[in-house]
Amino acid sequence: MTNPNIIVEEVDAFDPLDSIVDEILGETEPVEAKPEPEETPAEEETEEIETQEADEEPEYIELKHNGKPVKLKLEDVIEQAQKGFDYTQKTQEIADQRKQVEQYAQFIQQQAQFQQQFQGEIAQIAAMDMQLQRYKDVDWSNYTDQDPVEATKAWQRYQILQQQRGEMAQGLSARQVQMQREMQARATQSLTEAAQSLERELGKAWNAETRAALKETGKEYGFNDDELAAIQDPRVVKVLYDAYKWRSMKSQNPAVQKKVSDAPKLAKPGAKPVQAENTQKKQLQKLLKSSSSRSKREAAAMALLDDFVR
């Protein structure tokens, strides 16, 4: 049986095969088959059985892990990949549960803010509820037979109290709705101002495609949909935009990442300004002239950028 060979290019970015390879190598390592002795005439009758056993030998694939070739059983790789899929599903379930908890926490926070602002009205309604509770178990028919005058007065007080309580609760509910609308209006205004600021700063780069990309970038950093929707500070969006551009540059130039480590370093900070500047220019010229290929020119630029941001 021919064993397929799969070669994976090494990159400095996170390799999802790391966990699979490490777990498999931690359990067992493939053993190379020993050379079988030549067949003799006496062994011809067992040739068919040996052929079947050879066909049943495990299939291996070859991967490059941390710069070294690794030979693994194909069934082990498939099994670990399935475990990774199951882990992804469980992670999604946990994320959904977390979202529900955060939504409930946000609701509780809004209710606490509302109660703090309207605590006077809420206290009055609570006091009215206590008074109304006293009339709940009154037998009005029997009360009227025993004392018609007092029963009539009590009934009137009960009706007035119910009306006052209903009016106050209705007014409080209306104020709550108004407060929520004002909060939404302020949030909308803040988002509009933030969008206008970003349009001035980023120009044509601020479009629907960029906004969708920033949303995905935010999720990769752990933000959920509600947190991203609540962002009103344009500075936060600019940070996400810079992170998105940097990630895009790294994903579009995977081969450059390895070449950056081999590029000459810039002058140390302790060097004289003029000497450091000349050294940087020489390094830049050397890197840019080392090859006519675009990838190496990009490697030169990335090397200088890497030293600059450290």
Same domain? For 141 and 81 the reply is no
Residue 163 is predicted with a pLDDT of 93
Q: Indicate the residue among 52, 75, 109 that finishes a domain.
A: 109
- For every one of its 310 residues, what pLDDT tens digit does the chain have, with 9 covering 90 and above? 444 444 444 444 455 556 555 655 554 444 454 555 555 554 555 555 555 555 566 676 666 666 677 777 666 666 666 565 555 666 666 766 666 666 566 667 766 776 677 788 888 888 999 999 988 888 999 989 999 999 999 999 999 999 999 999 998 888 888 888 887 787 777 777 777 777 787 788 778 888 888 888 888 888 888 778 777 677 788 888 888 888 888 777 655 555 555 555 555 555 555 455 556 656 655 655 555 555 665 565 555 455 544 4
101 domain-assigned: yes
User: Is 140 domain-assigned?
Assistant: yes
Judge whether 200 lies within some domain. no
Do 17 and 77 fall within a single domain? yes
pTM (2 decimals)?
A: 0.34
Query: Do 23 and 88 share a structural domain?
Result: yes
The Cβ-side half-sphere exposure at 31, using a 13 Å CA radius, reads: 6
Choosing from 186, 221, 244, the residue where a domain stops is 186
Domain shared by 158 and 79, yes or no: no
101/157 same-domain check: no
Total domain count, the chain = 3
Residue 74 sits in the same domain as residue 122: no
Per the listing, tokens 């049943």 go with 56
Asked which of 152, 186, 220 is the last residue of a domain, the reply is 186
Task: Please give the sequence-ordered ranges of beta strands (E in DSSP) within the chain, or none if there are none.
Answer: 60-65, 68-73
Same domain? For 105 and 122 the reply is no
| Residue 167, pLDDT score | 92
Separation of alpha carbons 218 and 237, rounded Å: 9
C-alpha distance from residue 126 to each of 71, 117, 120, 155 (Å) = 74, 16, 10, 20
DSSP assignment of 94-149 equals: HHHHHHHHHHHHHHHHHHHHHHHHTHHHHHHHHHHHHHHHHHTT--HHHHHHH-HH
**Which residues, 6+ apart, have CB-to-CB distance to 121 below 8 Å?**
168, 171, 172, 175
pLDDT of residue 3: 46
Residue 72 lies in a domain: yes
* Structural domain includes residue 225: no
Residue 96 structural domain: 1-109
Domain assignment present for 244? no
For residue 42, tell me if it sits in a domain: yes
Asked if 262 and 304 sit in the same domain, the reply is: yes
Long-range contacts of 210-216 (CB under 8 A, 24+ apart): 210/241, 210/244, 213/244, 213/248, 214/240, 214/241, 214/244
Q: Residues 129, 61: one domain? A: no
- Same-domain check for residues 125 and 46: no
156/80 same-domain check: no
Q: Contact 172/122 with Cβ under 8 angstroms?
A: yes
**Domain identity same for 97 and 159:** no
208 found inside a domain: no
d(CA 248, CA 256): 13
